[in-house]
Amino acid sequence: METMQLTQEEVLQRIYNLILNPNTREWERYLLTTTKNALADQGNFKEQLAKLEAELRPLALRNNLTPDVTDFYQEITGNDPVVEEAVKEKHFVTDPAYQERAILAGGCFWCMVEPFENHPGIVSVLSGYTGGTIENPSYDQVSSGATGHVEAVEIIFDTRVVRYQELIDLYWQITDPTDDTGQFQDRGAQYRPIIFVTNDEQKRIAEKTKQAVIDSDRYSKPIVTEIRAAETFWPAENYHQEFYKKQPKRYKAIKRERQQFLTYQHLKGKLRVGLRRKKSF
């Protein structure tokens, strides 16, 4: 097992930081503390690190480590994340005259990044949490459904290249506006669809397009997507940023399920509208 370019001191520093990290789970902290103590007692560095990797491996393979521990595991196994912390550092409005923010929640944020990030005029897309009751929430806290937050993406876009209207049109295409208890295979209030508007013009466009979706009669169920004023957007842990680049195979499998559902739903909508028109003649 390789440890990338990390020295023993660097590994120990990461272990110390994870032990102190309030988001580290107790059983993760126990394993990390055991390793730290063994190394403090002059235990063989490579042997202790290999033992830690082996104990973390079953949970890592099931994607059941907390995000920061996941990043550490990827480092010590030679699978350093493709996307670095710079994702968060570069995410800010640099030209207020021609750049604007859009905040959209439509299920798991893993699947909400790629469609927008690859759209012309997008400056940056960041995964995070918003709409809840506590500050700086962790993934575990939001996943519990007890904080009121939803997983969302904050999009910074160049208004000279792309209009907010285009982003909202895309949003309606890639979400299920009839489900307020989750989206697709993701269940829970933290996955409900919400458009968070940052100004009056965004609110006008969001409400107008929502009414257009209602009037289209493509859905047999009520349109439940909320439109709310933007609140503090808390960036998610680094592990979740640009997930589609870090975990392409897993992302493609999730995306495939989502697209299959949307294709079926959109087909039903077309048939519903077609039958309605036939009856009107």
Highest mean pLDDT out of 9-13, 101-105, 179-183: 101-105
Asked whether the predicted pLDDT for residue 236 surpasses 80, the reply is yes
Mark whether 70 and 97 lie in a shared domain: no
Mark whether 41 and 101 lie in a shared domain: no
Tell me, what CATH number does 198's domain have?
A: 3.30.1060.10
Q: What is the pLDDT of residues 143-157, one digit of tens each?
A: 888 899 999 999 999
Mark whether 46 and 147 lie in a shared domain: no
Last residue of a domain, one of 20, 44, 76: 76
Mark whether 101 and 50 lie in a shared domain: no
Mark whether 72 and 169 lie in a shared domain: no
3-state secondary structure of 108: coil
- Do β-strands 99-105 and 150-158 pair in parallel, antiparallel, or remain unpaired? antiparallel
Q: What is the pLDDT of residues 221-231, one digit of tens each?
A: 999 999 999 99
In whole angstroms, give the CA distance from residue 157 to residue 170: 14
Q: What are phi and psi of 235, to 5 degrees?
A: -60, 140
Mark whether 229 and 165 lie in a shared domain: yes
Which structural domain, as residue segments, surrounds residue 129? 86-244
Q: Quick check: is 2 in a domain?
A: no
Please identify which of the residues 49, 105, 108, 174 carries the catalytic annotation: 108
In whole angstroms, give the CA distance from residue 163 to residue 177: 21
Stated pTM of the model? 0.74
Last residue of a domain, one of 76, 102, 118: 76
Sign of CA dihedral 79, 83, 86, 87: negative
- Structure token pair of residue 145: 């459904």
Q: Quick check: is 109 in a domain?
A: yes
Mark whether 72 and 93 lie in a shared domain: no
Report yes or no: 33 and 16 within 8 Å, Cβ to Cβ. no
In whole angstroms, give the CA distance from residue 178 to residue 221: 6
Q: Quick check: is 199 in a domain?
A: yes
Annotated active-site residue 108? The verdict is yes
Q: What is the pLDDT of residues 245-276, one digit of tens each?
A: 888 888 998 899 999 999 999 998 888 877 77
Mark whether 141 and 34 lie in a shared domain: no
Mark whether 70 and 125 lie in a shared domain: no
Q: Quick check: is 125 in a domain?
A: yes
Q: Quick check: is 263 in a domain?
A: no
The total domain count for the chain is 2
Q: What are phi and psi of 113, to 5 degrees?
A: -85, -55
Mark whether 92 and 115 lie in a shared domain: yes
CB atoms within 10 A of CB 40: 9
Report yes or no: 207 and 227 within 8 Å, Cβ to Cβ. yes
Q: Quick check: is 269 in a domain?
A: no
Mark whether 49 and 103 lie in a shared domain: no
Mark whether 113 and 214 lie in a shared domain: yes
In whole angstroms, give the CA distance from residue 147 to residue 130: 10
In whole angstroms, give the CA distance from residue 237 to residue 111: 16
